Structure 1
Amino acid sequence: MPGSIVVTSLGRVISVRGSSARVGMLAASQMPMSEIRATVGRFVSIRSGASTIVAMITEVSCEDLPVTDTYVATAGVDLLGEILPGDRPKFQRGVTNYPTIGDPVALISAEELRTIYAPTGADQINVGTLQQDRSVTAYVDVEEMLSKHFAVLGSTGVGKSTGVSLLLNEILLARPNLRVFLLDVHNEYGRCFGSRAMVLNPRNLKLPFWLFNFEEIVDVLFGGRPGVPEELDVLAEVIPQAKAIYTQYQNSDRLGLKRADPKAVGYTVDTPVPYRLVDLISLIDERMGKLENRSSRIIYHKLISRIETVRNDPRYGFMFDNANVGGDTMAEVISHLFRLPANSKPMTVMQLAGFPAEVVDSVVSVVCRMAFDFGLWSDGVSPMLFVCEEAHRYASADRNIGFGPTRKAISRIAKEGRKYGVYLGLITQRPAELDATIISQCNTLFSMRLANERDQALMRSAVSDAAANLLSFVPSLGSREVLAFGEGVALPTRLRFKEVPAHQLPRSEATIATVPSVSAGHDLHFVGAVLERWRGATSNRDAAPPESGFERVPPRAPSLMEAPMLQPSQGLDPDRFSLLKKPLR
């Protein structure tokens, strides 16, 4: 065509080594350097025989140039895959025909990029566009991403939560029958999924205490601290017997007045069958009454006191409501938690910020464990995606930090969940603090900006050699920019997440302003209303839920003079009042 610019080779191959090659950049290119922009991160194509090898520039230098005037610079490239010729050219990962010295190298065309990133089937989601060419859509393979787990990594403020909302909304569109369970640590995803999600919090969750296994119930009773060995021995002995007594109550019509020996029933401390607290305390009290040594009774008395203290704490109502009534509600609980049937709400958002700090780890452990066990015993007939936000909190790389059973439950999903239709999505801002074994099971990674060197080092160990050089871009990524690696994407790719509609943007339940509003009306009545909600969270009185404002607060707030003062002499355990340390949402 008259007036058009014929693009000659950008350069030629001057060395090949394993999965990488070195390219000499030619001085006599007919395309202006301002248009070539052969910089780090750009894709190039190498014509080698019948196929076209796709590579990415990872380094550009003008040092140690060959002794010739032919080249103005050299570039290191990683060989990623090749485009095979045919009626419909097809891209495949890996290289079967390696380039030879002198093979021509050119910047990849938009048409070749579309061939690489063309959706291969209906099971693809549109997540954004390529950074190199905004006209090319970036697709992710849902099946590969889910079945082999995925992780979203990024520092605070780079758009990580928005990216998670985008991915999950697209997954729900592509897989409307997939159930999704999201652990929402900061209560920011409640409105992101509209009518497709059910939001759970301490006010509407029922998670009976008897669903907790031995380690989990001990963690609850001892407030996250190590248990007293003597008390644990007693508890381990009486819990199976309390379960047996409850079973006998249920079968009393068939058994008549004859009662079997509780020890012969065969329950363990971890068998998920109901028992009643009144039976548990009665068994402990019975053993205490048989002791002649008064000093030995202290152990039993302390254990009973712990159980009753937690039972009477209104913050634990989601666990201990109807604790003495009984009833095997396990089927109802699992159906409610994991959306079986979905009833047009295939997603569960579990808001954790409202739970007592001492019990959050145990609650997460119970939910993770039940998700895996249900998949295991149902043979994976109803697939579920389990998404864990702030994953480093629950599966820390340091075995001395966090709650062991929670790490074990998440690890089981990571290692074996795909066999039973339980898939894992991890979100974290500190990947270096996350258990390396667990993150290594995630075969699709979406990395946003990470400035910490330890985080980058962990990622270098988690991705293939061909993609490792891309990680040098991680500290300089902009907002919404992502490096995507692994099975879910065609190539290690630098892309930009697409815009998320306003109603799908994550936001905290409370909007915190750095400059207080003059018209906010922060008078004594306002302070009194806050105190009413504050006290209501730790008493048996109903308090307005945080997201509903103050509409349910009585017209007259209690004055400060009417508030009972808590004196140190009352012997209150400060750890039981950790709610007071939390900021008001």
Structure 2
Amino acid sequence: MTSLGRVISVRGSLARVGLLSTSKMTIPEIRATVGRFVSIRCPNSIIVAMITDVSCEQVPSSADYIATAGVDLLGEILGGERPKFQRGVTHYPTIGDPVDLINNQELRTVYAPSGSDQINVGTLQQDPSVIAYVDVEEMLSKHFAVLGSTGVGKSTGVSLLLNEILKSRPNLRIFLLDVHNEYGRCFGERAQVLNPRNLRLPFWLFNFEEIVDVLFGGRPGVPDELDILAEVIPLAKGVYTQYQHSDRIGLKRADPRAVGYTVDTPVPYRLVDLISLIDERMGKLENRSSRIIYHKLISRIETVRNDPRYAFMFDNANVGGDTMAEVISYLFRLPAQGRPMTIMQLAGFPAEVVDSVVSVLCRMAFDFGLWSDGVSPLLFVCEEAHRYASADRSIGFGPTRKAVSRIAKEGRKYGVYLGLVTQRPAELDATIISQCNTLFTMRLANDRDQALLRSAVSDAAANLLSFVPSLGTREVLAFGEGVALPTRLRFKEVPPHQLPRSEAAIKTMPSVAAGHDLHFVAAVLERWRGATSQRDVPNDPSLGDRQTVRPSEPRPVEAPMLQPSMGLDPDRFSLLKKPLR
């Protein structure tokens, strides 16, 4: 059979191929288009290359060529009884070597799984009969990222990857930051779902920068108040230690300063002791203006302490108890007990503390890996990563960026792996994304995002990135250590029960019948106010963890003014039985 073309020039990892007009190939075979693989026949090997451009300009007149194509040399198939593919080229082609479109058998050799630690993520775009495998060890140990604009199937791709990883590595623990509460149902019984209602993250686990961020609502702290806090927090930890060991002779009278705790030492202390120490210092002051600073600080602490939205931090704040072991076991599934994955739903947290909560979780994940010598590996997946590790140092919360960066740079040494998911890679800290050695890139239209990818991809097939704006839904360009070659593939179908779906979504329903609209709104307002007031509002199990109004979930009620489709309990909203004025 006549070859598709012949090599007409070679330069480093690039070559130019002349496409022959005398080819006897059929029409489907002869489509030597951008992105397709070709094979260059050499005496000792078959070089695998990818077409990056096709042109009919500057066609050599001395030969029967109709066009030329630029190709990137990616690797080679070495002969023998069992052909094997390896990256890189040891024997370069020479002028005149024949070039053909790669056949099915050669593609299977290139993408053949090299071991049992491979996961099936989809099929090749060039040949759907060839399965695209990803090396789990390479992908995890050197971090990975999933990039793509909204609506291209990014969340579905993340669900697919994590489900396949769970199958391949049942003992690996996974921690997923779920920004939009859309992954709760994707992993079934293998995942524990956490939210503000069932999370207990004691305030004393927060380091100084993180607790300041909480107390000041994400705004910069007042310097005078920060000085007071920095002085009294270590003392409050010392007081608690004395309290715990008061039965031991001599410790009861010991000076709290002698305990040696710093402001960031992760040991318990009680808010009542903290406020008492501040109040004690305030009582020694004679200057009234100086006392105002102490008053404001006490008021600030008590306001946050009494805010029901912060109950996950300040529940039992004055009872004490060193529960750090229980918290870490609960968060990071030690032991897993059949649920190796934790999904942290962040949408229900107060916006002012989301950054500090993420900072605490990242920091604890890394520190536990560090001090346990990595004996229990953990994959930390960060959805919407650009929100927590922004390239712009003037926005976001510095400690969160630092915690994510620390996992990216050093986590692999201690069994803490990082998975980043973002729709705006250009807004993500370049140092962090550069540590991800496997990239799954879906459609990206923004020029800045594409420029960042070009700088991050070191493979010879960086020209593949020119395809990024035209990728279809579920189509992916996979680069890096986890895949055999830079590959254009299509993620496989995900079962319906594994599809991400926001729990906040409310199905379209017929409008509420006239005459009941006002009562429905009043019931919603009652629940709304109850979520941010100190009086208890009973939980309604039919409404789920987030207590979101869901007209699509019917519940029988007796109140004549409420329709069953509203899903509301009249006992909780007795005020509606009275006429509204």
- Per the alignment, residue 310 of structure 1 pairs with 304
| 1:53 matches 2:42 | no
- Per the alignment, residue 348 of structure 1 pairs with 342
SS at match of 1:353: coil
**TM-score, normalisation: structure 2:** 0.93
Pairing 1:105-504 to 2, within 5 Å after superposition:
105-255=99-249, 258-504=252-498
Shift of 1:529: 2.5
- Per the alignment, residue 581 of structure 1 pairs with none
CA shift in 2, pair 1:192/1:547, >3 Å: farther
Shift of 1:536: 1.9
Matched letter for residue 571 of structure 2: P
- Per the alignment, residue 561 of structure 2 pairs with none
What's the CA shift string for 1:81-118, capped at 9, x where partnerless? 00000111000000000111000000000000000000
- Per the alignment, residue 7 of structure 2 pairs with 13
CA contact (8 A) 1:525 1:557 kept: no
CA contact (8 A) 1:414 1:438 kept: yes
CA contact (8 A) 2:386 2:427 kept: yes
CA contact (8 A) 2:111 2:131 kept: yes
CA shift in 2, pair 1:563/1:434, >3 Å: farther
CA shift in 2, pair 1:98/1:368, >3 Å: same
Higher alpha-carbon deviation: 364-373 or 67-76: 67-76
Query: Quick one: distance in 2 between partners of 1:235 and 1:162?
Result: 45
- Per the alignment, residue 98 of structure 1 pairs with 92
- Per the alignment, residue 546 of structure 1 pairs with 546
CA shift in 2, pair 1:547/1:35, >3 Å: farther
Shift of 1:530: 1.5
CA shift in 2, pair 1:562/1:519, >3 Å: closer
Query: Quick one: distance in 2 between partners of 1:385 and 1:391?
Result: 15
Query: Quick one: distance in 2 between partners of 1:273 and 1:339?
Result: 21
Matched letter for residue 517 of structure 1: P
CA contact (8 A) 2:242 2:251 kept: no
Query: Quick one: distance in 2 between partners of 1:494 and 1:9?
Result: 24
Matched letter for residue 430 of structure 1: R
Query: Quick one: distance in 2 between partners of 1:508 and 1:301?
Result: 43
SS at match of 1:191: coil
Query: Quick one: distance in 2 between partners of 1:518 and 1:242?
Result: 56
Matched letter for residue 25 of structure 1: L
Query: Quick one: distance in 2 between partners of 1:210 and 1:252?
Result: 21
Query: Quick one: distance in 2 between partners of 1:177 and 1:281?
Result: 44
- Per the alignment, residue 67 of structure 2 pairs with 73
Shift of 1:58: 0.3
CA contact (8 A) 1:480 1:497 kept: yes
CA contact (8 A) 1:154 1:428 kept: yes
* Alpha-carbon RMSD: 1.7
State percent identity of aligned pairs: 83
CA contact (8 A) 1:532 1:558 kept: no
- Per the alignment, residue 563 of structure 2 pairs with none
CA shift in 2, pair 1:560/1:157, >3 Å: farther
Instruction: List alignment gaps of at least 5 residues for structure 2.
Output: 551-566
CA contact (8 A) 1:183 1:387 kept: yes
Shift of 1:33: 3.7
Matched letter for residue 375 of structure 1: G
CA contact (8 A) 1:158 1:480 kept: yes
Shift of 1:528: 2.3
Shift of 1:406: 0.2
Matched letter for residue 217 of structure 1: I
CA shift in 2, pair 1:264/1:314, >3 Å: same
Shift of 1:535: 1.3
Higher alpha-carbon deviation: 397-406 or 251-260: 251-260
Shift of 1:269: 0.3
Query: Quick one: distance in 1 between partners of 2:123 and 2:425?
Result: 25
Query: Quick one: distance in 1 between partners of 2:355 and 2:314?
Result: 17
SS at match of 1:488: coil
Query: Quick one: distance in 2 between partners of 1:463 and 1:154?
Result: 16
CA contact (8 A) 2:523 2:576 kept: no
| 1:510 matches 2:527 | no
Query: Quick one: distance in 2 between partners of 1:109 and 1:82?
Result: 14
Query: Quick one: distance in 1 between partners of 2:327 and 2:21?
Result: 70
SS at match of 2:519: helix
CA contact (8 A) 2:45 2:79 kept: yes
Higher alpha-carbon deviation: 280-289 or 515-524: 515-524
Query: Quick one: distance in 2 between partners of 1:458 and 1:259?
Result: 60
Shift of 1:558: 3.6
| 1:87 matches 2:81 | yes
- Per the alignment, residue 556 of structure 2 pairs with none
Shift of 1:512: 3.9
What's the CA shift string for 1:48-104, capped at 9, x where partnerless? 121000000000000111123510000000000000001110000000001110000
CA contact (8 A) 2:141 2:412 kept: yes
Higher alpha-carbon deviation: 457-466 or 150-159: 457-466
Matched letter for residue 59 of structure 1: D
Matched letter for residue 85 of structure 2: F
CA shift in 2, pair 1:257/1:330, >3 Å: closer
**TM-score, normalisation: structure 1:** 0.93
Shift of 1:30: 0.5
Matched letter for residue 356 of structure 2: S
Matched letter for residue 490 of structure 1: A
CA shift in 2, pair 1:252/1:104, >3 Å: same
Query: Quick one: distance in 2 between partners of 1:261 and 1:120?
Result: 63
CA shift in 2, pair 1:552/1:143, >3 Å: farther
Query: Quick one: distance in 2 between partners of 1:498 and 1:480?
Result: 8
Query: Quick one: distance in 2 between partners of 1:258 and 1:331?
Result: 26
Query: Quick one: distance in 2 between partners of 1:189 and 1:530?
Result: 26
Matched letter for residue 248 of structure 1: Q
SS at match of 2:482: coil
Query: Quick one: distance in 2 between partners of 1:178 and 1:225?
Result: 37
CA contact (8 A) 2:166 2:172 kept: yes
Instruction: List alignment gaps of at least 5 residues for structure 1.
Output: 1-6, 565-585
| 1:62 matches 2:56 | yes
Matched letter for residue 379 of structure 2: L
Matched letter for residue 206 of structure 1: R
CA shift in 2, pair 1:49/1:419, >3 Å: same
Matched letter for residue 138 of structure 2: E
What's the CA shift string for 1:122-164, capped at 9, x where partnerless? 1000000000000000000000000000000000000000000
What's the CA shift string for 1:292-313, capped at 9, x where partnerless? 1000111111000000000000
Shift of 1:537: 1.4
- Per the alignment, residue 4 of structure 1 pairs with none
Shift of 1:263: 1.0
CA contact (8 A) 1:509 1:547 kept: no
